[in-house]
């Protein structure tokens, strides 16, 4: 159990710290007072005060964090402007988040998700530069009889060029693109006798296990692969190419996640694959056993997910605050505190429902249901 818990705690602390530091950085840049910088919730385990008066602390439950601004009533940055104007003197008002211009408040809120995306880019950049990236061409070695690939017309020795318009740069890309595809038919572009051929394959959904032994539903088309001409090509990249492939990976993961969530909302996707902290802890421990590179890659993927989810227009999340600021821009005034309270209750219900559902999937994955 300990081998799962420690990697999970390290992963969560890093991605949460980076997220909250994004808020903190822009807050300090625009002169907003920060009273608390917390990793985790609940009882404080230890902490310290810096010269500016910010309390940096680690709390008991390491499943998130927050930055609390000067004058806020709570960690959700709620405040009553009229009450603030009466309570604080002119000098102190300069440090109040709620009195800052709209664009500054928006950047402070957006800073958290932005920091998560930057962390992912940096991780992928370092991996591409110092560990290298695989560029081994993917050739079909076998097509199983009566499989989706067989029925669609894929053949032995076909070289896979692209899947769903995503260029296949590596033999490792094939499984990734098939697994993350959300289309009913997957578009394959292959090279056969120096001719490019487009093949549409309708995958089967089967109960299987991933490389870590976890039960998953996978899209399978019935092929096995070999390096083209046995040419294994793994090389370290220079800064420019490494950055390009890092940005490409972040973009692909982001768009694939949005497409998957879209299928969940429309009822076409497999919601059993949604997981929560228990599944993340389990997988992070398993991945850590394979070494630092797989663990860092997972950290990058989790960081992207955290940044993306926080941009959803759900009250209590960063995206919910940005939604309120958009409404404020249109109306020329902020929403009333009472209206915001109503939205926050809705957001709390949605988040608790999602947490309950994800936890149920986690426990089901452990065989408890």
Same domain, 162 and 103: no
Same domain, 68 and 154: no
Backbone dihedral region for residue 42 (phi beyond 0: left; psi -120 to 50: alpha; all else: beta): left
Strands (E), the chain: 34-49, 55-69, 133-134, 138-143, 159-163, 166-167, 186-192, 195-201, 204-209, 215-220, 223-227, 234-235
Residue 221 domain-assigned? yes
Same domain, 10 and 126: yes
Q: What are the CA-CA distances from residue 66 to residues 13, 100, 321 (Å)?
A: 12, 19, 14
The whole-angstrom separation of Cα 193 and Cα 139 is 12
The whole-angstrom separation of Cα 303 and Cα 102 is 27
Which structural domain, as residue segments, surrounds residue 211? 134-235
pLDDT at residue 368 greater than cutoff 90: no
Element (H, E) at 52: none
Query: How many residues can be counted in the chain?
Result: 369
Cα angle 132-135-139, degrees, rounded to a multiple of 5: 150
- Kindly compute the dihedral angle of the four CA atoms of residues 173, 136, 291, 255, in this order, to the nearest 10 degrees: -20
Residue 249 domain-assigned? no
361 pLDDT band (50/70/90 cuts)? low
Q: Tell me what the pLDDT averaged over the chain comes to.
A: 86
Same domain, 114 and 145: no
Element (H, E) at 157: none
pLDDT single digits (tens) 291-302:
899 899 999 999
Instruction: Name the least confident of 96-100, 212-216, 336-340.
Output: 212-216
Same domain, 125 and 11: yes
Q: Out of 4-8, 196-200, 202-206, 213-217, give the one with best mean pLDDT.
A: 196-200
Residue 272 domain-assigned? no
Boundary (domain end) residue, out of 235, 251, 274: 235
Q: Is 302 helix (H, G, I), strand (E, B) or coil?
A: helix
For residues 139-161, one letter each, b for 16 or more C-beta atoms within 10 angstroms of the residue's C-beta and e for the rest, the string is: bbeebeeebbbbebebeeebbbb
36 pLDDT band (50/70/90 cuts)? very high
Boundary (domain end) residue, out of 235, 268, 285: 235
The whole-angstrom separation of Cα 277 and Cα 366 is 13
Boundary (domain end) residue, out of 208, 235, 262: 235
Q: Is 20 a catalytic residue?
A: yes
Backbone dihedral region for residue 77 (phi beyond 0: left; psi -120 to 50: alpha; all else: beta): left
Residue 226 Cα to chain centre, angstroms: 31
Q: Which of 3, 20, 90, 289 is catalytic?
A: 20
Same domain, 93 and 140: no
Residue 352 domain-assigned? yes
Same domain, 104 and 67: yes
Residue 281 domain-assigned? no
The CATH number of the domain where 146 resides is what?
2.30.42.10
Same domain, 77 and 49: yes
pLDDT single digits (tens) 105-144:
999 999 999 999 999 999 999 999 999 999 999 999 999 9
Of residues 7, 22, 80, 44, the one with CA closest to residue 297: 7
157's CB contacts (< 8 A; 6+ apart) are 139, 140, 192
Same domain, 120 and 15: yes
Same domain, 40 and 140: no
Residue 8 domain-assigned? yes
Looking at the DSSP bridge assignments, the partners of residue 56 are 37, 48
DSSP symbol at 272: G
The whole-angstrom separation of Cα 328 and Cα 330 is 5
* Average pLDDT of the residues in 255-272: 78
Phi, psi of 242 (to 5 degrees): -60, -40
What is the count of structural domains for the chain?
2
Same domain, 61 and 173: no
Residue 242 domain-assigned? no
Comparing 318 with 179, the larger pLDDT belongs to 318
Same domain, 223 and 159: yes
Residue 188 domain-assigned? yes
The pLDDT value given to residue 78:
54
Of residues 69, 114, 110, 77, the one with CA closest to residue 93: 69
Q: What are the CA-CA distances from residue 100 to residues 31, 93, 236, 319 (Å)?
A: 9, 9, 46, 18
Of residues 85, 97, 69, 80, the one with CA closest to residue 337: 80
């Amino acid at each position: 159990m300990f081998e799962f818990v420690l990697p999970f705690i390290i992963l969560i602390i890093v991605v949460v710290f980076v997220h909250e530091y994004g808020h903190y950085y822009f807050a300090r840049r625009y002169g907003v007072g920060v009273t608390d910088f917390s990793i985790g919730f609940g009882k404080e385990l230890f902490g310290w005060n810096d010269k500016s008066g910010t309390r940096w602390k680690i709390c008991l439950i390491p499943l998130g964090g927050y930055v609390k601004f000067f004058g806020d009533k709570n960690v959700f940055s709620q405040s009553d402007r009229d009450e603030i104007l009466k309570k604080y003197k002119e000098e102190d008002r300069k440090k109040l988040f709620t009195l800052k211009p709209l664009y500054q408040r928006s950047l402070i809120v957006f800073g958290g998700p932005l920091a998560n995306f930057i962390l992912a880019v940096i991780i992928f950049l370092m991996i591409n530069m110092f560990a290298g990236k695989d560029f081994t061409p993917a050739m079909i070695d076998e097509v199983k009889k009566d499989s989706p690939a067989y029925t669609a017309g894929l053949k032995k020795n076909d070289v896979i060029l692209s899947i769903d318009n995503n260029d296949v740069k590596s033999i490792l890309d094939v499984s990734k693109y098939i697994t993350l595809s959300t289309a009913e038919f997957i578009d394959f572009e292959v090279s056969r006798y120096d001719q490019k051929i487009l093949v549409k394959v309708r995958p089967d959904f089967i109960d299987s296990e991933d490389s870590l032994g976890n039960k998953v539903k996978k899209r399978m088309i019935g092929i096995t692969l070999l390096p083209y001409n046995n040419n294994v090509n793994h090389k370290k990249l220079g800064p420019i190419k490494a950055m390009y492939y890092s940005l490409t990976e972040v973009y692909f993961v982001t768009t694939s996640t949005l497409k998957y969530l879209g299928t969940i909302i429309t009822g076409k996707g497999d919601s059993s694959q949604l997981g929560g902290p228990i599944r993340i802890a389990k997988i992070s421990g398993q991945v850590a056993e394979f070494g630092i590179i797989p663990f860092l890659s997972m950290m990058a993927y989790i960081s992207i997910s955290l940044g993306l989810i926080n941009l959803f227009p759900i009250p209590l999340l960063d995206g919910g605050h940005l939604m309120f600021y958009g409404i404020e821009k249109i109306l020329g005034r902020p929403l009333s505190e009472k209206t915001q309270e109503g939205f926050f209750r809705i957001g709390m219900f949605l988040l608790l429902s999602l947490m309950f559902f994800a936890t149920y999937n986690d426990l089901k994955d452990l065989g408890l249901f």
